[in-house]
Structure 1
Amino acid sequence: MPTPDAVVIGAGPNGLVAANLLADAGWQVVVLEAQDRPGGAVRSDRGVHPDYVHDLFSAFYPLAAASPVIRGLALERYGLRWSRAPAVVGHPLRDGRCAVLGSHPDDTAASLARFHADDARSWHHLHRLWQRYGDDLVGCLFAPFPPVRSGLRLAARTGIAEGLRLFRDMLLPARRFGEEHFAGEGGPLLIAGNALHADLAPESALGGGFGWLMCMLGQTHGFPVPVGGAGSLTDALVRRLLARGATLHCGHPVTRVVIRDGRAVAVRTADGTEVPARRAVLADVPAPVLYERLVGEDHLPVRLRADLHRFQWDLATVKIDWALSRPIPWTSEGAHGAGTVHIAEGLDALTRFAAQLAMGQVPDVPFTVLGQMTTADPTRSPVGTESAWGYTHVPQRIRSDAGDDAIRGSWSAREKEAIAARVEAGIEFLAPGFRSTITARRILAPPDLERLNPALVGGAVNQGTTQLHQQLLFRPLPGTGRPRTAVRGLYLASATAHPGGGVHGAPGANAARAALRALRVPRGGSHRSTA
Structure 2
Amino acid sequence: MPDAVVIGAGPNGLVAANLLADEGWSVEVLEEQDEPGGAVRHDNGVHPDFTNDLFSSFYPLAAASPVLSELRLERHGLHWRHAPRVLAHPLSDGRCAVLGRDLDDTAASLETFADGDGAAWRELHDVWERLRPDLVDALFTPFPPVRATVKLAARLHAAGGLRLARSLVLPVRRLGDEEFRGEGGRLLLAGNALHADLAPEAAGSGGFGWLMSMLGQTYGFPVPEGGSGALTAALVSRLEERGGVLRCGTRVSRVEVRRGRAVGVWTADGEPVVARRAVLADVSAPALYGDLIDRAHVPAQVLADLRRFEWDFATFKVDWALDGPVPWQAPDASLAGTVHLADGVDELTRFAAQIAMRQVPDRPFTLFGQMTTSDATRSPAGTESAWAYTHVPHEIRGDAGDEGLSGAWNAKEQEVFADRVERQVERFAPGFRSRIRARRILAPPTLQAMNANLYGGAINGGTTAMHQQLVFRPLPGTGRPETPVKNLFLASASAHPGGGVHGAPGANAARAALRGHLARPSLTRVQYALTRRNRAGDRSA
What is the TM-score normalised by the length of structure 1? 0.97
Deviations 1:438-494 (A, max 9, x none): 000001100000011111001001110000000000000001100000100000000
Shift of 1:412: 1.1
Shift of 1:520: 3.9
Distance 2:75 2:331 in 1: 37
User: Which residue is equivalent to 1:392?
Assistant: 390
User: Which residue is equivalent to 1:126?
Assistant: 124
Shift of 1:521: 9.3
CA contact (8 A) 2:127 2:159 kept: no
User: Which residue is equivalent to 1:273?
Assistant: 271
Identity between Structure 1 and Structure 2 (%)? 66
Shift of 1:168: 1.7
Deviations 1:37-91 (A, max 9, x none): 0000000000000000000000000000000000010000000000000000100
Deviations 1:89-145 (A, max 9, x none): 100011110000012110000000010011010011111111111121111111111
User: Which residue is equivalent to 1:411?
Assistant: 409
CA contact (8 A) 2:310 2:463 kept: yes
User: Which residue is equivalent to 2:212?
Assistant: 214
Counterpart amino acid of 1:95?
D
SS at match of 1:194: helix
For structure 2, the 5+ residue unaligned runs are 522-541
Q: How many residues align?
A: 521
1:172 is aligned to 2:170: yes
Identify which of 47, 59, 62 aligns with 1:61: 59
Shift of 1:161: 7.5
Distance 2:110 2:230 in 1: 35
User: Which residue is equivalent to 1:163?
Assistant: 161
Distance 2:204 2:147 in 1: 22
* Correspondence 1:63-78 to 2 at 5 A: 63-78=61-76
SS at match of 1:80: coil
User: Which residue is equivalent to 1:203?
Assistant: 201
Counterpart amino acid of 1:416?
Q
Distance 1:75 1:190 in 2: 31
Distance 1:206 1:281 in 2: 34
Distance 1:112 1:230 in 2: 31
Identify which of 324, 327, 330 aligns with 1:326: 324
Identify which of 1, 17, 22 aligns with 1:24: 22
Identify which of 70, 84, 87 aligns with 1:86: 84
For structure 1, the 5+ residue unaligned runs are 524-531
Identify which of 35, 38, 41 aligns with 2:36: 38
Distance 2:135 2:406 in 1: 41
Identify which of 99, 106, 120 aligns with 2:104: 106
SS at match of 2:161: helix
Q: CA-atom RMSD, angstroms? A: 1.2
SS at match of 1:49: coil
CA contact (8 A) 2:98 2:106 kept: yes
Give the 3 Å change call, closer, same or farther, for CA 213–521 of structure 1 in structure 2: farther
User: Which residue is equivalent to 2:532?
Assistant: none
User: Which residue is equivalent to 2:310?
Assistant: 312
Deviations 1:8-29 (A, max 9, x none): 0000000000000000011010
Give the 3 Å change call, closer, same or farther, for CA 160–88 of structure 1 in structure 2: closer
Deviations 1:365-384 (A, max 9, x none): 10000000000000000000
SS at match of 1:496: coil
CA contact (8 A) 2:40 2:231 kept: yes
Shift of 1:522: 13
Distance 1:296 1:183 in 2: 56
SS at match of 2:51: strand
CA contact (8 A) 2:156 2:165 kept: no
User: Which residue is equivalent to 1:346?
Assistant: 344
Distance 1:263 1:502 in 2: 30
Deviations 1:232-261 (A, max 9, x none): 000000000000001110000000000001
User: Which residue is equivalent to 1:529?
Assistant: none
User: Which residue is equivalent to 1:242?
Assistant: 240
Shift of 1:169: 1.8
Distance 2:31 2:209 in 1: 33
Distance 2:307 2:506 in 1: 24
Distance 2:107 2:59 in 1: 23
Distance 1:20 1:7 in 2: 12
Which runs of 4 or more aligned residues in structure 1 lie more than 6 Å from their structure 2 counterparts after TM superposition? Answer: none
Distance 1:482 1:380 in 2: 38
Distance 1:426 1:282 in 2: 42
Shift of 1:157: 2.6
SS at match of 1:321: strand
Counterpart amino acid of 1:65?
A
Identify which of 253, 257, 260 aligns with 1:255: 253
Counterpart amino acid of 2:100?
G
Distance 1:212 1:390 in 2: 22
Once structures 1 and 2 are overlaid, which stretch shifts more, 125-134 or 4-13?
125-134
Shift of 1:160: 6.9
Identify which of 491, 496, 499 aligns with 1:498: 496
Deviations 1:237-286 (A, max 9, x none): 00000000011100000000000011000100011000000110000000
CA contact (8 A) 2:98 2:332 kept: yes
Distance 1:212 1:193 in 2: 10
User: Which residue is equivalent to 1:421?
Assistant: 419
1:190 is aligned to 2:181: no
Once structures 1 and 2 are overlaid, which stretch shifts more, 49-58 or 289-298?
289-298
